[in-house]
Structure 1
């Protein structure tokens, strides 16, 4: 792996993807929570359809988590080096996720209690489920308090499962990378089997928001990590050429757009849609992540734009805050009716909350974890490197 600036650049490109994912989910929710939005599928114009499909951005977070968190284990598997400490991994994950999650949850609960809305406010006795990321497993708490938190429940389940999955790859070692890839592909098969069983049995919302339903999406990011680490070990860290990078980027983005078109032109779906829709998006994002993490050239340089990289750095807070703030403002009549002014207001207040959370909650926790690992005072650069591991 190239030292110094090259590593920072790749992190900036991944931050750019993370920023686009968070902004697209925000745009979807601003569109969704409008009283005057088109309710019927046939009534949507092109903009409505684009904003509805923007929700696909949340899949990028799963793919990024798979890639970022599996890199160290993949590197150990292909080189024979010592794997990451599971204890250190757990500490870093806890420091990265828990402080902002609990702060946001407490503030949102108090906001709802004082100014509303109360329709999604959980009862006090239900809060322990949120505290341990178990809200997805009860219909009484699913999509309550802060509806976007359903993805964090799945993320936390993945964090627990990841070291166990990595054991298989580490056991296979450097000489059986193809078998290692087969193990990860089998996880995609788990998700396909889960989708097929749900399609036949109509399992309902709870099984659709559990780890088996999304482990394949994480696995595609893990496959990218395995491929790039294998390639770097064999080619002394050489980057992908600009032409290969562009090919991966173009095909990746085309897959994401094509799935949106498929969804909009065949809304009733069918077995093929049930099986492959979100996995098609995940594959597209996996190719884009591969280009951003291992490539070079103009097809990924734009992802390193300063405003995108900065937004990506605070994207966890942006993701946490945007929907509850939108709901509070909407319930109190503080949002413009027109779509674009509404979008700007929600974006502005969400960015402010995200920046504050990064500065006073996330970054201190990240620096603490970095100091604990390195045995020395962390810096902003070190914090940013650790932050690159977030989903």
Structure 2
């Protein structure tokens, strides 16, 4: 496998990876979610640098934990599910018009595409191993379809963009999912039965996908089906579930379930403690090998479910943020700024990692984790600030003007 890919099947997204900000369209804020996006991006950067340093196998249980920081992808996807589904559910709650499909498509394209295309172009031009791939594979990378058409996935330097491709698949599926969740136009309001069916159905699809892959894969002629949306629908579904709980709570409904979620979120230390405890469980062989090796369908399922709960606990602390100290700390402008530029950190950190290893001459898998991590983080942050100022922000302003 390419060294740019993180452990197991998870390599990065989506707020997801490039989701909306912490603002709520109906007024108010979710400021903590910006910082949690930064947490996801830093987790992904850390697991990649740890792999390149060889820390997965040379630091014992700590190395196994570093390998499981690919849980940052689950955080991205849960954030995406929450932030993108909530406007639809809020509209259904108030019996108002759902978000316009045209505006949704326009904003998603201009949020994702510009920096993604720049990242792919940089890798195809500068990263050894990506420069020489056939034009068919270059075109697949530029259209973010490599996981569907290329057996080896994305070229070197951008292997982490598999999760961006999966995120885009969720963007495409979301209008249909919301139709199932709230009905046409949401005129009947929020119906808990439908919402529960969507969330449980998402989890069931992920479980069934990984269990069925040994039978399905021989009939799939190209791509990497273990990275396709069905396998990770549980993470998006968890975010939709949090959005449903939030909107039901705003309507004074949801009963003991919403009350329990609020009570748990009011103790962010407990949420994070439970998340870390489950991550320790995920670092054992029960969730599959920590190195880039084939894993069993059962291990796929266990890892996916553990990551679903971990990411949900983390995002919950920002959805129902009611602890003043926690909210104040994670709403600090510096922390939120990291969240604002986190899409750039996510996209650019792997090409930067290639650059760091090439310019320093540090050998692969032979230590220097802290040095590799520190240099990659600093350069990635600077590059992300530049990309936000000159690529992302102008693209978003253009999308708003078109609206």
Is TM (by shorter chain) over 0.5?
A: yes
Q: Aligned-pair distance for 1:261?
A: 1.8
* Distance in 1, Cα, partners of 2:96 & 2:287: 49
* Distance in 2, Cα, partners of 1:175 & 1:56: 31
Say if 1:274 and 1:241 are closer, same or farther in 2 by CA, change over 3 A: closer
Contact preservation (8 Å) 2:65, 2:283:
no
Matches within 5 A, 1:31-180: 31-34=50-53, 37=54, 40=57, 43-112=58-127, 117-118=128-129, 122-145=133-156, 146-171=158-183, 173-174=188-189, 176-180=191-195
Contact preservation (8 Å) 1:20, 1:308:
no
Q: Aligned-pair distance for 1:224?
A: 0.6
Contact preservation (8 Å) 2:123, 2:131:
no
Contact preservation (8 Å) 1:245, 1:295:
yes
* Distance in 1, Cα, partners of 2:283 & 2:314: 23
2:235 counterpart of 1:214: no
Q: Aligned-pair distance for 1:16?
A: 0.8
Corresponding residue for 1:357? 387
SS in 2 for 1:342: helix
Query: Could you give the per-residue CA deviations for residues 136-156 of structure 1, whole angstroms, max 9, x where no partner exists?
Result: 013445031401100011011
SS in 2 for 1:7: coil
1:301 is aligned, of 328, 337, 340, to: 328
Structure 2: state its 5+ residue gaps: 1-22, 289-295
Corresponding residue for 2:368? 338
Contact preservation (8 Å) 1:126, 1:141:
no
1:183 is aligned, of 198, 208, 212, to: 198
More deviation in 157-166 or 179-188? 179-188
Corresponding residue for 1:384? none
Q: Aligned-pair distance for 1:242?
A: 8.1
Say if 1:293 and 1:335 are closer, same or farther in 2 by CA, change over 3 A: farther
Corresponding residue for 2:5? none
Contact preservation (8 Å) 1:246, 1:299:
no
Matches within 5 A, 1:162-311: 162-171=174-183, 173-174=188-189, 176-198=191-213, 206-234=224-252, 244-247=264-267, 249-266=268-285, 269=288, 273-297=299-323, 298-311=325-338
* Distance in 1, Cα, partners of 2:169 & 2:297: 27
2:359 counterpart of 1:319: no
* Distance in 2, Cα, partners of 1:58 & 1:308: 19
Corresponding residue for 2:3? none
Say if 1:241 and 1:161 are closer, same or farther in 2 by CA, change over 3 A: closer
Say if 1:180 and 1:46 are closer, same or farther in 2 by CA, change over 3 A: closer
Q: Aligned-pair distance for 1:188?
A: 1.3
* Distance in 2, Cα, partners of 1:364 & 1:127: 26
Give me the CA root mean square deviation. 2.9
* Distance in 2, Cα, partners of 1:330 & 1:346: 9
Contact preservation (8 Å) 1:76, 1:170:
no
Say if 1:183 and 1:54 are closer, same or farther in 2 by CA, change over 3 A: closer
Matches within 5 A, 1:6-45: 7-8=28-29, 10=30, 12-34=31-53, 37=54, 40=57, 43-45=58-60
